[in-house]
């Protein structure tokens, strides 16, 4: 029996295998596409084919790039491959829109509200009804507007993740990969069976709120999380093994000719209120959440009157995004032809209002971002009015209901705030600028990684520890 020490090449090979196992790159566990309709653009074909080959993946394609069609085609391929039905969970009111899109392209798709599926076809439902289904009944799941997952409470998010965990074929589709929020990327990774979000943070980041070094924060690691030394490249390399992101086709190397956005005109309106906050001689920016909330409630009348004046009586469609029930009720009284969609409305009433607005039966819609800001297509409207808030994602989604590929007009976005809310408005603008830079960095990192190392390859950078 030989007792010779292992050769150095054997040690290196074993160590490389160990590193590859630790990397947990997204594997190619899918299949070659069986059907790619001619209605898909070349960049859409590329994304769908990649999603199917991966088996489990996230596609982050900006608003108007055709995510609904892509996820329907992906679902139809899984149906043919498994001879089992596929479920598409979607935000409220988007389900009906998805079914209509499927009919337009000849895809067998129905809406369902629970129970066992009938027939091998694509089914669409709302996230809120996912608990009424048995995961074992489905061959695959394609989650529409998957960024909404982080908006759910922990229990609901865990329920959705557990439902997905049991399916071999699962896709996440979103317009915002939220590169400034690694928590969300971790949530998506966990839902796809890659790394749990806590494991992801512990592997690639450190939480050091007291450090003066901001270099690691340049890509927006949330809540003080920043890259560990030399972990940044490893993180993007890992992420691109299960994520594809693009804001336009050229991000993937395709032509942008048919995907050029019209100009976006963002206007800030600062209202000088007639009264000062309690204990103050004149209006000053709110310093904390309590003061911001009091400022918002104290100035409802003045802010709503300014919004009504901005909308006017031009007859042109408009969308108004509010944050308080009292704001919505007052705006509906002040603006003829406006219809409010509130949280108290039934699901059927909300969908009916959205469809009436999209078809032109209603001139304007008033609602909260958390109710209607995800997934709806309102390219017929080119005027958005919103109140200030700290949530960049809500603002982004609110604007992109109208400012999206397919929009033919310049889109005007009016942001209304009081002098006391100036800090809120400025914070939102900072987040918007940072998010644009972060998404650019995300795409660049992914493209660089795809050019240099599309799969796990440690041949250039492996260093065997001295103790081996």
Name the nearest CA neighbour of 239 among 224, 227, 229. Answer: 227
pLDDT(416) > 90:
yes
Distance CA 144, CA 97 (A): 12
pLDDT at 32: 94
Find where tokens 């329920």 sit. 159
Q: DSSP labels for 13-82?
A: HHHHHHHHHHH-PPP--S---S---TTS-HHHHHHHHHHHHHSEEEEEE-TTS-HHHHHHHHHHHHHHHH
Radius of gyration of the chain (CA): 24
In which band, very low, low, confident or very high, does the pLDDT at 316 lie, cut at 50, 70 and 90? very high
In which band, very low, low, confident or very high, does the pLDDT at 384 lie, cut at 50, 70 and 90? very high
pLDDT(206) > 80:
yes
- The reply to whether 408 and 367 lie within a common domain is yes
Distance CA 463, CA 18 (A): 12
Distance CA 120, CA 109 (A): 10
- The reply to whether 169 and 210 lie within a common domain is yes
Q: Is residue 390 part of a domain?
A: yes
Beta strands in 325-420 (DSSP E): 338-341, 364-367, 383-387, 411-418
Q: Is residue 446 part of a domain?
A: no
Q: Is residue 2 part of a domain?
A: no
Q: Is residue 312 part of a domain?
A: yes
pLDDT(93) > 50:
yes
- Least-confidence region, from 195-209, 318-332, 341-355: 195-209
The CA-based angle 354-160-114, given to 5 degrees, is: 60
Q: Is residue 396 part of a domain?
A: yes
Distances (CA, A) of 422 to 17, 287, 453: 54, 10, 46
- The reply to whether 293 and 342 lie within a common domain is yes
- The reply to whether 233 and 277 lie within a common domain is no
Statement: the pTM of the whole predicted model exceeds 0.75: yes
- The reply to whether 272 and 373 lie within a common domain is yes
SS3 for 283? coil
Find where tokens 């190397």 sit. 253
Greatest mean pLDDT among 9-13, 197-201, 264-268: 264-268
Specify whether the CB–CB gap between 173 and 98 falls below 8 A: no
Q: Is residue 461 part of a domain?
A: no
- The reply to whether 311 and 357 lie within a common domain is yes
- The reply to whether 249 and 285 lie within a common domain is no
Greatest mean pLDDT among 26-40, 166-180, 297-311: 297-311
pLDDT at 84: 94
Question: What is the mean pLDDT of the segment spanning 6-16?
Answer: 59
pLDDT at 452: 56
In which band, very low, low, confident or very high, does the pLDDT at 468 lie, cut at 50, 70 and 90? very low
Specify whether the CB–CB gap between 324 and 292 falls below 8 A: no
Distance CA 252, CA 147 (A): 21
- The reply to whether 268 and 365 lie within a common domain is yes
Write the CATH number for 411. Answer: 3.40.50.300
Domain limit, last residue, from 257, 291, 322:
257
- The reply to whether 131 and 226 lie within a common domain is yes
Q: What is the mean pLDDT of the chain?
A: 81
pLDDT at 27: 61
Q: Is 94 exposed, middle or buried (0-12, 13-18, 19+ CB in 10 A)?
A: buried
- The reply to whether 351 and 227 lie within a common domain is no
In which band, very low, low, confident or very high, does the pLDDT at 132 lie, cut at 50, 70 and 90? very high
**Quick count: other Cβ atoms within 10 Å of Cβ 366?**
26
Q: Which domain holds residue 177?
A: 14-257
Question: What is the mean pLDDT of the segment spanning 223-235?
Answer: 78
pLDDT at 181: 61
Specify whether the CB–CB gap between 45 and 73 falls below 8 A: no
Specify whether the CB–CB gap between 124 and 112 falls below 8 A: yes
Find where tokens 């999209």 sit. 358
Tally of structural domains, the chain: 2
Integer distance in angstroms from the first to the last C-alpha of the chain? 22
- The reply to whether 193 and 301 lie within a common domain is no
Distance CA 175, CA 145 (A): 7
Greater confidence, 215 or 181?
A: 181
In which band, very low, low, confident or very high, does the pLDDT at 264 lie, cut at 50, 70 and 90? very high
Proportion of the chain above pLDDT 70, given as a percent = 80
- The reply to whether 270 and 333 lie within a common domain is yes
pLDDT at 362: 94
pLDDT at 282: 58
Question: What is the mean pLDDT of the segment spanning 86-115?
Answer: 88
The CA-based angle 149-403-260, given to 5 degrees, is: 115
């Amino acid at each position: 029996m030989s007792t010779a020490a292992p050769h150095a090449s054997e040690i290196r090979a074993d160590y490389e295998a160990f590193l590859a196992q630790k990397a947990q790159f997204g594997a190619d566990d899918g299949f070659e596409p069986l059907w790619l309709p001619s209605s898909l653009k070349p960049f859409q074909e590329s994304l769908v084919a990649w999603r199917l080959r991966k088996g489990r993946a996230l596609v982050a394609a900006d608003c108007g790039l055709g995510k609904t069609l892509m996820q329907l085609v992906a679902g139809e391929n899984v149906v043919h491959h498994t001879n089992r039905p596929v479920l598409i969970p979607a935000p409220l009111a988007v389900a009906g829109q998805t079914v209509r899109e499927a009919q337009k392209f000849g895809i067998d798709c129905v809406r369902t509200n629970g129970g066992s599926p009938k027939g091998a076809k694509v089914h669409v439902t709302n996230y809120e009804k996912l608990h009424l289904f048995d995961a074992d009944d489905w061959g695959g799941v394609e989650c529409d507007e998957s960024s909404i997952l982080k908006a759910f409470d922990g229990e609901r998010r865990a329920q959705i993740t557990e439902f997905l965990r049991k399916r071999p074929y699962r896709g996440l589709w979103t317009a915002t990969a939220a590169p400034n929020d690694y928590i969300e990327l971790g949530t998506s990774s966990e839902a796809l069976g890659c790394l749990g979000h806590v494991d992801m943070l512990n592997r690639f980041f450190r939480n050091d709120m007291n450090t003066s070094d901001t270099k690691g924060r340049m890509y927006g690691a949330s809540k003080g999380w920043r890259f560990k030394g030399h972990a940044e490249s490893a993180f993007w390399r890992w992420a691109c093994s299960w994520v594809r992101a693009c804001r336009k086709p050229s991000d993937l190397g395709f032509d942008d000719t048919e995907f050029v956005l019209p100009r976006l005109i963002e206007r800030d309106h600062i209202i000088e209120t007639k009264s000062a906050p309690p204990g103050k001689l004149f209006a000053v920016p709110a310093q904390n959440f309590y003061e911001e909330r009091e400022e918002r409630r104290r100035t409802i009348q003045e802010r709503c009157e300014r919004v009504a004046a901005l909308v006017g009586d031009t007859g042109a469609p408009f969308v108004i995004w509010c944050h308080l029930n009292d704001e919505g009720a007052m705006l509906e009284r002040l603006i003829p032809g406006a219809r409010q969609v509130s949280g108290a409305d039934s699901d059927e009433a909300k969908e009916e209002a959205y469809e009436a607005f999209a078809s032109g039966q209603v001139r304007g819609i008033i609602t909260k971002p958390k109710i209607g800001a995800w997934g709806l297509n309102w390219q017929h409207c080119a005027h958005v009015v919103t109140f200030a808030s700290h949530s960049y994602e809500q603002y982004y989604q609110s604007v992109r209901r109208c400012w999206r590929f397919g929009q033919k007009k310049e889109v005007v976005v009016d942001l209304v705030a009081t002098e006391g809310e100036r800090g809120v408005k400025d914070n939102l603008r900072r987040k918007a600028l940072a998010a644009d830079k972060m998404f650019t960095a995300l795409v660049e990192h992914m493209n660089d990684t795809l050019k240099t190392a599309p799969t796990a390859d440690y041949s250039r950078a492996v260093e065997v520890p001295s103790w081996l």
